Amino acid sequence: MGLFDRFKKRFKKSAEDEISVDEDSVEAKQASEEGAQMRQNITNTREPPLAPEPIEEPEDEWDDNNIAPDPFATPPKDSKQRKLAHRAASVEQAKKPEQPMEPKPEADPMQSTTGRKLISTGPVKLEVDFGDSATKTGGRVITASSKLESMLEELEEDLLTSDMAQGAAEEVISTLKANLIGTRLSGVKKLDVVLEEALRNTLLRLLESGYWDFNKTVDSFLEESRPVVIMIVGVNGTGKTTTTAKIAHQLSEQGKSVVLAAADTFRAGAIDQLATHAERIGVRCIRSQRGGDAAAVSRDAVDSAKARGEDIVIIDTAGRMQNKTNLMEELRKVHRVTQPHLVLFVADALAGNDAVTQAVEFQRMLSFDGAVLCKLDTDAKGGAALSIAHATGRPIVLAGIGQGYEDLIPFDPEWLLDSIL
Compute CA distances 38 → 88, 180, 186, whole Å.
52, 10, 23
Residue 137 pLDDT > 70: no
Question: Once rounded to an integer, what is the mean pLDDT over residues 102-119?
Answer: 70
Per-residue pLDDT at 178 exceeds 80: yes
Give the per-residue pLDDT at 66.
Answer: 40
Cα distance between residue 342 and residue 212, in whole Å: 12
Please choose, from the candidates 391, 358, 414, the residue with its C-alpha nearest in 3D space to the C-alpha of residue 171. Answer: 391
Q: Report the distance separating Cα 90 and Cα 88, nearest Å.
A: 5
Q: At what angle do helices 166-180 and 191-206 cross, to 10 degrees?
A: 140
Cβ(294)–Cβ(263) below 8 Å: yes
CA dist 294 and 61 (Å) reads 13
Distance of alpha carbon 259 from alpha carbon 275, whole angstroms:
11
pTM of the prediction? 0.77
Sheet holding 228-233: strands in order across? 284-286, 258-263, 312-317, 228-233, 342-348, 370-374, 396-400, 408-410
- pLDDT above 90 covers what percent of the chain? 27
Of the candidate ranges 27-31, 307-311, 314-318, 338-342, the one whose mean pLDDT is the lowest: 27-31
Local confidence band at 248 (pLDDT 50, 70, 90 cut-offs)? very high
Backbone angles phi, psi at 18, to 5 degrees: -80, -25
Give the CATH number of domain 214-420; options: 3.90.1170.50, 3.40.50.11890, 3.40.50.300, 3.40.630.30.
3.40.50.300
30: phi then psi, degrees, rounded to nearest 5: -65, -40
Residues 6+ apart with CB under 8 A from 312: 218, 227, 228, 229, 230, 248, 251, 256, 257, 258, 259, 305
Q: How sure is the predictor about 259, in pLDDT bands with cuts at 50, 70 and 90?
A: very high
The residue extents of the domains of the chain are 3-46+121-206, 214-420
What is the tens place of the pLDDT at every residue in 200-228? 888 887 776 668 899 999 999 999 999 99
Cα–Cα distance for residue pair 254/266, rounded to 1 Å: 31
Calpha distance 242→352 (Å, rounded): 20
Residue 96 Ramachandran class (φ > 0 left, ψ -120 to 50 alpha, else beta): beta
